[in-house]
Amino acid sequence: MSETPRETMEFDVVIVGGGPSGLAAAIRLRQVAPDASVCLIEKGSEIGAHILSGAVIEPRALEELLPHWREEGAPLNTPVTEEQMLYLTQKGSLEIPFLDRVMPHMNNHGNHIVSLGDFCRWLASRAEELGVEIYPGFAGAEVLVDDSGRVTGVATGDMGIGRDGQPGDNYAPGMELRAKYTLFAEGCRGSLTKQVTAMYNLRKGVDPQTYGLGIKELWEIPKEMHRPGLVQHSFGWPLDDRTYGGAWMYHFGDNLVSYGFVTGLDYPNTWLSPFDEMQRVKLHPAFRPYFEGGRRIAYGARALSEGGIQSIPRLTFPGGALIGDTAGFLNVPKIKGTHTAMKSGMLAAEAVAEALATDRVEPGSYTRRIRDSWLWTELRSVRNIRPAFAKFGMKGGALYSGMDAMLLRGRAPWTLHTRHSDNEVLEPASISEKISYPKPDGKITFDRLSSVFLSNTNHEEDQPVHLKVRNMSLWKTVNWDVFRAPESRYCPAAVYEVADEATDPHLQINAQNCVHCKTCDIKDPAQNIDWVTPEGAGGPNYPGGM
Amino acid sequence: MTVLVYLDHEGGAIRQASRSAIAAASKLGDVDVLVTGPDAAAAAKSAAAIPGVKKVVQVTDTTGNSELAEPVASLLADLAAGYTHILAASSATAKNILPRTAALLDVQPIPDIVAINDADTFVRPIYAGSALATVKSADAKKIITVRASSFEPVASEGGNATIEEVALPAGPGGSTFIATELSKSERPELESARVVVSGGNGMLNEENFKLLEPLADRLGAAIGASRAAVDKGFVSNEYQVGQTGKIVAPELYIAMGISGQIQHLAGMKDSKVIVAVNKDPEAPIFQVADYGIVGDLFTILPQLEAELDKAG
Amino acid sequence: MKVLVPVKRVIDYNIKPRVKADGSGVETAGVKMSMNPFDEIAVEEAVRLKEKGVVSEIIAVSIGEAKAQDTLRTAMAMGADRSILVETDVVTEPLSVAKVLKALVEKEKPDLIILGKQAIDDDMNATGQMLAGLLGRPQATFASKVEVADGAVTVMREIDGGSQTVKLALPAIITADLRLNEPRYASLPNIMKARKKPMEKITPADLGVDMTPRLSVVSVAEPPERKAGIKLDSAAELVSRLRNEAKVI
Ligand SMILES: Cc1cc2nc3c(=O)[nH]c(=O)nc-3n(C[C@H](O)[C@H](O)[C@H](O)COP(=O)(O)OP(=O)(O)OC[C@H]3O[C@@H](n4cnc5c(N)ncnc54)[C@H](O)[C@@H]3O)c2cc1C
Ligand SMILES: Cc1cc2nc3c(=O)[nH]c(=O)nc-3n(C[C@H](O)[C@H](O)[C@H](O)COP(=O)(O)OP(=O)(O)OC[C@H]3O[C@@H](n4cnc5c(N)ncnc54)[C@H](O)[C@@H]3O)c2cc1C
Ligand SMILES: Cc1cc2nc3c(=O)[nH]c(=O)nc-3n(C[C@H](O)[C@H](O)[C@H](O)COP(=O)(O)OP(=O)(O)OC[C@H]3O[C@@H](n4cnc5c(N)ncnc54)[C@H](O)[C@@H]3O)c2cc1C
Ligand code: SF4
């Protein structure tokens, strides 16, 4: 396609993705190897544009990376002051007592409620001050590999290719960013990571990765109702015992509330709609009063890795490494992955600096550094909790995790395993129980399209569809005939629509709406959908506060 | 206080928008008006008949110079001494001239006002109408353009103003008028049309979409579409109205078989009157429509045409 | 021939602006900012003139806070040769911006100044005209076609209901309308190269310009929400209402 040859630029290190892991790696690299040239690309139109998180963060890794973060104005402005874990029934709720003992991983003392997007914007300015070259608006679209099988960088996507696949008037070819070492920091379910993983068979011998989908809204609520520092989580209603998930609500900043709902993507009921679950929980008496009289400011969604340590793949390969959530370093019971993402990035940076100095092909010491760090200890101690929920159900899982925490203190001599990928556990429409969701009221609850509007999502219209269905006929026989188009329910952005349902059902893809959550790439029952990077800068534009 | 209003006219007939500007000016003080061009004499006569106008300043010019911003801006600056405010309806012509006048007078202009709070304070849309700013001017003279749709036009007959002839100054020179070409296309352009007829997914196919044309013809309307209609190939994407299409604000917007999702509304919610025809009584479009008909558009469309024919 | 292109940093056109709860303005903290889209068109036109060999140097200028550097870098990535940041934290208005630009024109002596027709934040549509007025030079606003030949520029301009053609002696001021061209992407290689192009930083005071705004913002509010109207039973009733009540047909 590209008749015009691609331009090339050489760096010591290229980092793909400007989340906490990529930015922490970039900063650490320039700290330990000040002469190394470091280039970071980000597919969002700016740093933070695609960052979606809770987020209550633990400052542990930040403390190690930038000890003067307070003086340098890091936007960690709301310390956690109070926390509650609520077990919901349809009408009522029960607060779990002695939270710090039953669920010690939920203890948030010393943590802060932040906008992770704003935090990343701040990290990016620190990185730039240290001489990192950051280029937002460019997606890594292709992994470059040399004849010896070593990854030698990435190429950004072509711009100005029409929907028909032909270059248009403003066509600009992608660029090759060559590097001695490439760090993939794409966050959960990275698209290039997927390629590298296949190329080097990185998942051999580990459990399948499992995922959750987090759908979030940012609200501005009346001052009287705002309790800065309050952190709430819920489990129980409205999910059945076979479905993992729950809501969060964090009060922070100027009358802001981060509210959202995580649904384990190993849910079996094909009729389940994570979006509608998130909407209806707002109507529960435990949450509703906070939303009354408030205004919704932003909306978004993102998958997160839930497999834990059992699912972490081989981390290095010739010419690079995986860092952050694309490798799966999320502490699931804590729903915290920022500090672990940062730590993994920092350790990879140190390994790369060492490899640079000794001219090694693979930054192999990264794996050892991980195993020797607090990150590994932390993830090991919680390794059985999420699998227990999958194995014993929500109530059983909760019991197990209480027991694990209080009696075993995370040191159980056994390890529970996940056997199935999330796409394999969906049950056919014929045996799944239909769920009826309340209609949106336009005040507290909303429909998908008016929600996507608040994510400021856009993609250049005239470009190839970036959601690649490998085999359309498989869609009809599997997705439609067996599961009745689950993608029309799990996609939080109404990208997938069934057209002419009554006469000739076929799939319509509104790719322009996509908020890059990656759920379709994960949950499609036949693994028939590939999420690839659209033209750079496309996707959501999450505002400050998200 | 006396206010000067620059009037747009077409071959001597004063534009309705300019009568809205006069209405706005009347809230500020006595009104004088300015007409320029080869037909200035005819225009002056029409202007003198507008109630509330005290004096008409007539500038006849056949050189083409009155088509240029430079001399007209200088003219307005020369006339400004006697006035506290200079107004015009927001039009391409006024937007070309008035800011230049403002610069000559060392004044920050106030474009596109939609309301007058007092002699110094005005309301104007910013961010393409996403917000309304109330601004207060510290300048001794105000130079203002007016959103015509926000002010009820004054009548065109009933007044009796005096007419005074003034000559067009040469201005700084350097620019020459070559030609004006008015577009002859049968259908007005979407973004500037007075009436827009739009079709959505409910039109079902390309064939049916054409059914909107006779209605548009009768109303002198431009044709628009929702993204669903564009995506399905009923029409090409230059017809798309909405967040990612064209933003329109006609006097009348007719939505046929459009559900009214927020992304579509973003492109037409500032229309003066919205009409929706949709078979789903719950369709969100009805939450913004001034007039709605719940029913099958394929039955209502021919009825609508027949009614328009009947009424002439 | 030298061209000056003023470019403004505004909230990205994909972002829906949100009025602050206290009514003091529109939220800009953490909001994505980009080059004003009409200014991209202006830069593109200048670059095309350079590619045609008509223009030898393109200077981009922005007046605003330090972050306007990003906008200037984008202009240089698109093809501007160098840039000037006139740094100020004072709220800018077309009048003050035009005064700054006038001072720069007197210093740099460009033959052509191409601006966007309007900035999509304040929608003033004024700066180009005002600059022309202050300089006493000819102007062609809302340009849809620009041709430079023999020391003059011929511009087709969009007017209500059609177009108008004018010819201007240089130096002249042009403001770009939507249909003038489709701006190119700032490609990654060009963004990298733009990091090395020169950027001069000065202040309005260096140019002797007083930036005190003449307009003050009393309040900013969301426009009133549209209310649902009435449901009618027939086409006949609709036509009669449109004619007699709404008076739009
Ligand atoms: C709903 C939800 C709630 C959470 N709550 C918390 C919490 O309260 N506390 C906490 O600590 N953690 C929380 N997490 C987890 C935390 O957000 C992640 O662990 C963390 O963001 C991972 O950082 P990362 O750098 O690995 O990836 P990300 O933050 O996902 O960043 C990856 C970046 O790379 C970019 N990118 C991806 N692919 C490409 C490509 N091919 N080319 C260019 N750029 C690319 C993306 O656009 C993105 O900006 C939550 C996560 C979710 C989804
Ligand atoms: C980032 C983004 C940008 C977007 N930009 C735009 C945009 O610029 N413009 C835009 O329009 N959309 C845009 N959309 C899409 C928008 O969300 C809607 O999907 C779209 O507007 C729907 O078009 P529609 O109303 O024609 O279709 P539908 O929602 O399918 O509605 C069709 C309507 O027709 C009615 N109908 C069907 N048959 C009949 C009949 N016989 N008689 C009467 N009524 C009938 C139905 O009841 C229904 O209400 C965008 C979406 C996103 C996410
Ligand atoms: C009600 C109101 C509220 C305001 N609020 C704010 C605010 O919150 N924050 C704030 O910063 N300012 C604010 N301003 C000031 C605003 O930035 C100025 O009005 C602006 O500089 C000029 O208006 P405009 O951009 O709409 O000019 P236009 O005349 O529409 O701009 C036309 C062209 O002039 C050029 N141009 C204009 N400004 C610049 C510039 N600064 N640098 C380079 N080229 C330029 C561009 O080529 C542009 O396309 C406010 C103004 C008003 C009236
Ligand atoms: S299309 Fe896929 S990645 Fe995009 S929003 Fe929908 S589920 Fe998420």
Cross-chain CB nearest to B138 (options C16, C121, C216): C216
Q: Which residue from C55, C61, C34 is spatially nearest to C186, judged by alpha carbons? A: C34
Which residues does a 6 A CB cutoff place in the pocket of ligand 2? Answer: A 449, 452, 457-458, 512-513; B 200-202, 226-229, 240-245, 257-259, 261, 263-264, 267, 277-280, 283, 296-298
Whether A338 is catalytic is yes
Which of the listed residues A45, A299, A448, A449 should we mutate to test ligand 2's pocket, taking the one with most ligand atoms within 8 A of CB?
Answer: A449
Angstroms from A73 CA to nearest CA on chain C: 15
Sheet containing B195-199: order of strands: B222-225, B195-199, B252-256, B273-278, B291-294, C230-232
Whether A188 is catalytic is no
Angstroms from C197 CA to nearest CA on chain B: 32
A-chain residues within 8 Å CB-CB of B245?
none
Q: Return all residues near A431 (Cβ < 8 A) that are at least 6 apart.
A: none
Let me know the angle formed at the C-alpha of A14 by A34 and C9, rounded to the nearest 5 degrees: 90
Q: Which residue has the tokens 């405010």?
A: B85
Residue A470's CB is within 10 A of a number of other CB atoms, namely 12
Cross-chain CB nearest to C123 (options B112, B175, B252): B112
pLDDT for position A1: 45
Cross-chain CB nearest to C30 (options A156, A255, A545): A545
Q: What is the ipTM of this complex?
A: 0.93
Which of the listed residues C112, C121, C173 should we mutate to test ligand 3's pocket, taking the one with most ligand atoms within 8 A of CB?
Answer: C121
Q: Which residue has the tokens 């529960």?
A: A284
Is A7-71+115-206+313-381 assigned to CATH 3.50.50.60?
yes
**Chain B nearest-CA residue for C211:** B108
Is A25 in contact with A121 (CB distance < 8 Å)?
no
Q: Cα–chain-centroid distance for residue A113?
A: 18
Bond from prior residue into B111 cis (ω within 30 degrees of 0): no
Distance CA C38, CA C33 (A): 14
Confidence of residue B304 (pLDDT cuts 50, 70, 90): very high
pLDDT for position A520: 98
DSSP single-letter state for residue A407:
I
Distance CA A176, CA A187 (A): 22
Whether A39 is catalytic is no
pLDDT for position C162: 84
Q: Which stretches of chain C drop beneath a pLDDT of 50?
A: none
Q: What distances in angstroms separate CA B287 from CA A233, B269, C46, one per listed residue?
A: 36, 11, 46
Is A130 in contact with A27 (CB distance < 8 Å)?
yes
B-chain residues within 8 Å CB-CB of C163?
180-181, 183
The SS3 of residue A467 is: strand
Structural domain including C26 reads 2-217
Q: Which residue has the tokens 């479905």?
A: A243
The SS3 of residue A488 is: helix
Q: Which residue has the tokens 């474009």?
A: B111
Residue B231 touches chain A, beta carbons under 8 Å? yes
Ligand-binding annotation for B178, yes or no, is no
Q: Is the pLDDT of residue B125 over 50?
A: yes
Ligand 2 atom, smallest distance to B283 CA: 49
pLDDT for position B108: 98
Whether A120 is catalytic is no
Within-domain flag for C238: no
Residue A56's CB is within 10 A of a number of other CB atoms, namely 25
Residue A512 backbone dihedrals phi, psi, to 5 degrees: -65, -25
Residue C62 backbone dihedrals phi, psi, to 5 degrees: -135, 145
Is C144 in contact with C157 (CB distance < 8 Å)?
yes
Which residue, by CA, sits nearest to atom 4 of ligand 4? A514
A-chain residues within 8 Å CB-CB of B266?
453
Ligand-binding annotation for B84, yes or no, is no
Q: Among residues A121, A280, A520, A533, which one is catalytic? A: A520
Which residue, by CA, sits nearest to atom 8 of ligand 1? A55
Cross-chain CB nearest to A453 (options B231, B237, B262): B262
**Chain A nearest-CA residue for C31:** A543
A326-335, B61-70, B176-185: least confident range? B176-185
CATH of residue C166's domain is 3.40.50.620
Question: Mutate which of B78, B175, B185 to disrupt the C interface (most C C-beta within 10 Å)?
Answer: B175
Helical H segments across A382-429, by residue range: 385-403
Which of the listed residues A50, A459, A518 should we mutate to test ligand 4's pocket, taking the one with most ligand atoms within 8 A of CB?
Answer: A518
The SS3 of residue C245 is: coil
Tokens representing C220 are 């900013």
Distance CA B148, CA B146 (A): 6
Q: Which residue has the tokens 């028939």?
A: A528
Within-domain flag for C248: no
Measured in Å, residue A518 CA sits from the centre of ligand 4 at 5
Angstroms from B126 CA to nearest CA on chain A: 19
Q: What is the mean pLDDT of chain B?
A: 94
Q: Which residue from A497, A386, A263 is spatially nearest to B201, judged by alpha carbons? A: A497
Domains of chain B: 2-167 (3.40.50.620), 195-311 (3.40.50.1220)
Q: Do B126 and C26 touch (CB under 8 A)?
A: yes
Tokens representing B97 are 């001239």
Distance CA C25, CA C23 (A): 6
pLDDT for position A2: 44
The SS3 of residue A43 is: coil
Residue B111's CB is within 10 A of a number of other CB atoms, namely 25
Residue B10's CB is within 10 A of a number of other CB atoms, namely 12
DSSP single-letter state for residue C26:
B
Q: What distances in angstroms separate CA B207 from CA A126, B198, B210, B227, C34, one per listed residue?
A: 58, 15, 6, 17, 41
Q: Any idea which fold A78-113+209-307+423-531 has?
A: D-Amino Acid Oxidase; Chain A, domain 2 (3.30.9)
Q: Among residues A182, A338, A451, A488, which one is catalytic? A: A338
Ligand-binding annotation for B85, yes or no, is no
Sheet containing A93-95: order of strands: A93-95, A82-88, A230-236, A245-252, A256-264, A211-220, A295-305
Number of independent structural domains in chain C = 1
pLDDT for position B115: 97
Give the global pTM: 0.91
- B-contacting residues in A 490-529 (Cβ below 8 Å): 508, 510, 512
Distance CA C65, CA C71 (A): 11
Ligand-binding annotation for B171, yes or no, is no
pLDDT for position B312: 60
Q: Give the pLDDT means over successive 10-residue stretches in chain A (546 positions).
A: 77 98 98 98 97 96 98 96 93 84 75 97 97 97 97 95 89 95 98 98 96 98 97 94 95 97 97 98 97 97 96 98 98 93 98 96 97 97 87 82 73 82 96 96 96 94 94 96 98 95 93 97 97 95 94
* Residue spans per domain, chain A: 7-71+115-206+313-381, 78-113+209-307+423-531, 385-417
Which residue, by CA, sits nearest to atom 6 of ligand 4? A491
Q: Do B243 and A461 touch (CB under 8 A)?
A: no
Distance CA A265, CA A215 (A): 12
Within-domain flag for C159: yes
pLDDT for position C14: 83
Q: Do A544 and C185 touch (CB under 8 A)?
A: no
DSSP single-letter state for residue A434:
P
DSSP single-letter state for residue A404:
I
> Which DSSP string do the residues of chain B spell out, in sequence order?
-EEEEEPPEETTEEPHHHHHHHHHHHTTSEEEEEEEETTHHHHHHHHHTSTTEEEEEEEE--SSGGGSHHHHHHHHHHHGGG-SEEEEE-SHHHHHHHHHHHHHTT---EEEE-EESSSSEEEEEEGGGTEEEEEEE-SSSEEEEE-GGGSPPPPSSS---EEEE-PPP--S--EEEEEEEE---SSPPGGG-SEEEEE-GGG-SHHHHTTHHHHHHHHT-EEEE-HHHHHTTSS-GGGBBSTTSB----SEEEEES----HHHHTTTTT-SEEEEEES-TT-GGGGT-SEEEES-HHHHHHHHHHHHHHH-
First to last CA, chain C: 52
Chain A positions contacting chain C at CB under 8 Å are: 7, 9, 45-46, 48-49, 115, 117-118, 121, 133, 135, 138, 156, 159-160, 169-170, 172, 174-175, 220, 255, 297, 453-454, 456, 458, 541, 543-545
Within-domain flag for C126: yes
pLDDT for position C4: 98
Burial of B121 per CB tally in 10 Å (0-12, 13-18, 19+): middle
Which of the listed residues A519, A527, A529 should we mutate to test ligand 4's pocket, taking the one with most ligand atoms within 8 A of CB?
Answer: A519
Q: What distances in angstroms separate CA C199 from CA A316, A322, C61, C83, one per listed residue?
A: 41, 38, 9, 5
Ligand 3 atom, smallest distance to C125 CA: 30
Q: Return all residues near B9 (Cβ < 8 A) that are at least 6 apart.
A: B15, B18, B35, B37, B39, B43, B46, B47
Within-domain flag for C233: no
Q: Do C164 and B181 touch (CB under 8 A)?
A: yes
Which residue, by CA, sits nearest to atom 3 of ligand 4? A518
